[in-house]
Structure 1
C-alpha cells in the first residue's frame, strides 16, 4: 500500500516563493552625471556656440562601462546610465559655461540662423570612464573659432580624478572631471569676449567663402579708336 508524505501547505508555498525569488535579478540602479551647483547667469554676456560636441562611439549607449586593470572595458552589473550620456554631457557643459562666463547667451549647436556667436567651441571627447580600481579619466580636445572664422585656441586635455571605488563614486568623479573641463574652457573663452566688430566687407568675404563663390573678375574696358594720321587705340 502506497503512503504519501503530507507537508503543510504554508511550507510548500514558502519553498516555491523562495525558488522564484532566487531567479529574479534586482533592477540595476540608474545614474546621471553630477553637474555640481552652477549658479544662474545674470548678464547677457558673450555669445558662445557650444558644439558640435562629439563623443566617442563607445560612450553612446546606456551601459555603464567599467575599466579593468588590463585596460579592457566591461558592462557594469549594478548600474546603467539614465538616458543618453551624450545629452548629459552637453547639458552639464552648457550650464557650467553659462555660469562661469555669467552669460545667458551660451547656446548648444545647432541653433537659430540669426544667432551670431562671438566664439564657437568645437569639442571632442574621446574618453570618459573609470573602474573599481581605476581612476576616472577624461580625454578631450577643443578648438575655439572667433567671429572671423579664425582658430584662436587649440588644446588637448587629459584629466584624472580618484574615487572611493563604488559605482556612485565613479559617476560622481566623472561629473567632477567635466566640471574641471568647463573651468579650463571658460578661462580660454574669456579673453575672446571683447573682439572688434567685423566690418561689412569682411562679412561679405566670409559669406562668399562659405558659399564657395569666386570674386568677380575686373572688367577690362573696350578699346576705342582715335582718328589721327596713325590709328591708336586707347584703353
Structure 2
C-alpha cells in the first residue's frame, strides 16, 4: 500500500528537467616550476550571479535564471582558479596560488577581483564587467587598480556556448591584468 502512495511522487520526480552542470575553463595549463609568485583572490561576485544557476539577460532589466543549467561548483572559486591558471600562462610562471593561501612568503603580487557582471545576452554575447586590484607583497601596498568590461560572441546557442564565451572573457581579463603587471 505504501508503494502505491509513493508512485505519484516518483512519476513527478522522473518528469523533472534533468540538470546540466558547467565549469569555466582556462586557456590551457599554467607552466610548471617557479617564476614570479602570484596570488589570486579574494574574488567577489555580484549578488545576481552569486547562485548555482547560469544567467541570461532577456531584456534591459529582466534576467532569466536557468533552473536546469548550473555551475558545477562554487562560481567564485571557479573564477579564481581559471584566472590564476590564465595569469600563470600570461606571466610564464608556475608559482600561482588561489586565495586563501598559507603564507605570502613566496608571493610577489596579490590580485583581488570584483566581478560585477557575468552573463549571457539575448543578442548572442557573453558580457563581463570587472574591477581588479594588484597589491605588492609582503607590504600589501596597492600598485594598480583598474576596471575592465568586455563582450564575447557565443558563436552558438546554448549554455555550453555561454560557459565557453565566459571562459574566453576571463582569459582576456587575465591578459589585461598581466599587461598591468608589466
| TM, length-normalised to structure 2 | 0.82
Query: Are positions 1:75 and 2:65 aligned together?
Result: yes
Provide structure 1 residue ranges, at least 5 long, that are not aligned to the other structure. Answer: 1-19, 192-235
Q: Which residue of 1 aligns with 2:141?
A: 150
- Which structure is larger by alpha-carbon Rg, 1 or 2? 1
Match of 1:136, SS? strand
Match of 1:181, SS? helix
Shift of residue 114, structure 1, vs aligned partner: 5.4
* RCO comparison, higher one (Cα < 8 Å, 6+): 2
Match of 2:78, SS? helix
Cα RMSD (Å)? 2.3
Equivalent pair of 2:54/2:66 in contact (CA under 8 Å): yes
Q: Which residue of 2 aligns with 1:33?
A: 24
After superposition, the C-alpha distances for 1:204-235 in whole angstroms (9 at most, x for unaligned) are xxxxxxxxxxxxxxxxxxxxxxxxxxxxxxxx
Equivalent pair of 1:29/1:80 in contact (CA under 8 Å): yes
Provide structure 2 residue ranges, at least 5 long, that are not aligned to the other structure. Answer: 1-10
After superposition, the C-alpha distances for 1:105-129 in whole angstroms (9 at most, x for unaligned) are 2111221135242111121111100
Shift of residue 104, structure 1, vs aligned partner: 2.1
Query: Are positions 1:104 and 2:85 aligned together?
Result: no
Q: Which residue of 1 aligns with 2:161?
A: 169
Equivalent pair of 2:30/2:86 in contact (CA under 8 Å): no
Equivalent pair of 1:69/1:133 in contact (CA under 8 Å): no
5 Å matches for 1:127-138?
127-138=117-128
Match of 1:100, SS? helix
Relative to its length, the structure with more strand (as a share) is 2
Equivalent pair of 1:136/1:162 in contact (CA under 8 Å): yes
Match of 1:27, SS? coil
Question: CA–CA distance in 2 between the matches of 1:139 and 1:40?
Answer: 24
Moved over 6 A (4+): none
Shift of residue 99, structure 1, vs aligned partner: 2.0
Question: CA–CA distance in 1 between the matches of 2:162 and 2:42?
Answer: 26
| TM, length-normalised to structure 1 | 0.65
2:50 counterpart (60, 85, 90): 60
1:49 counterpart (23, 28, 39): 39
